[in-house]
Amino acid sequence: MAFALELVGERWSLLIVRELMFGGRRFSDLRAGMPGISAKVLTERLESMERAKIVQRRRLTTPVTVQLYELTPWGYQAEEAMLALCKWAVKSPHHDPNLWLSPASLMLSMRVMFVAARAEGVATRGAIRVGKDGFVVEVADGRFHVARGEPEVPEFVFETPLATPIIFTAYGKIPIEDLAATGLTVSGDRAAAQRFLDCFQLPEKVY
């Protein structure tokens, strides 16, 4: 445990892992997902994590030259530990589910809040678009799957400028129509969208 904290225990390190959990990101994308981090600190953390073999760099040349940061195969294995920490922390009475979330942190949060028992008999596939970030989301066989991208034929599509409205409707169970002022919209099969939302629930607090 102590060695694990040496690897990712510095401030921002686990958040970098979170932002890279759904695929490679540019330096500017990482900064946008972690408001408050300076370019200097982000550069230092990325260099440290690259030396530790948690993060790697890849240069793309089409359609334009761009450098991506992404997790190594071993880096991706940190997800199980991150989810366990999240499931533990969310039960704290001091956890505030209304705080700002990046698109990647919303998806990780939904993995934590997914309740398999509530998904019995549910099979649906859709999309969640938060700003310019798009994710394919699917519930099938009692499991929740998410990946960056766009589904070919989604049953439903959520679009929102910020992650917070998704939290309000998925966790707070606020009707979608009551969140229209936030910019949240849903298209496609609204019944399928609701079945999807019903699969998520905040756990009870420890006291």
Write out pLDDT tens, residues 185-202.
999 999 999 999 999 999
CB 19 within 8 A of CB 34: yes
Q: How far is it, in rounded angstroms, from Cα 75 to Cα 158?
A: 30
Q: What is the pLDDT of residues 90-130, one digit of tens each?
A: 999 999 888 899 999 999 999 999 999 999 999 999 999 99
Between vectors from CA 203 to CA 198 and to CA 22, what angle results, nearest 5°?
70
Please report the pLDDT score of residue 58 as a whole number: 92
Tell me which DSSP letter residue 114 carries.
B
**Residue 44, token pair as written in the block:** 């230092």
Domain ranges of the chain: 2-81, 97-197
Where does 97-197 sit in CATH, by number?
3.30.1050.10
- Model pTM score: 0.90
H or E, element range at 9: none
Q: How far is CA 33 from CA 25, 42, 162, 187, in A?
A: 10, 12, 12, 26
Where does 2-81 sit in CATH, by number?
1.10.10.10
Please report the pLDDT score of residue 62 as a whole number: 72
**Residue 13, token pair as written in the block:** 């390190």
CB 115 within 8 A of CB 200: yes
> Beta partners for 125?
138
Average pLDDT per block of 10 residues along the chain, 207 residues long: 93 96 95 95 97 94 85 96 94 90 96 96 97 96 95 95 95 94 96 97 92
Q: Which of 81, 78, 60 is nearest to 69 (CA)?
A: 60
- 127: helix, strand or coil: strand
Please report the pLDDT score of residue 117 as a whole number: 96
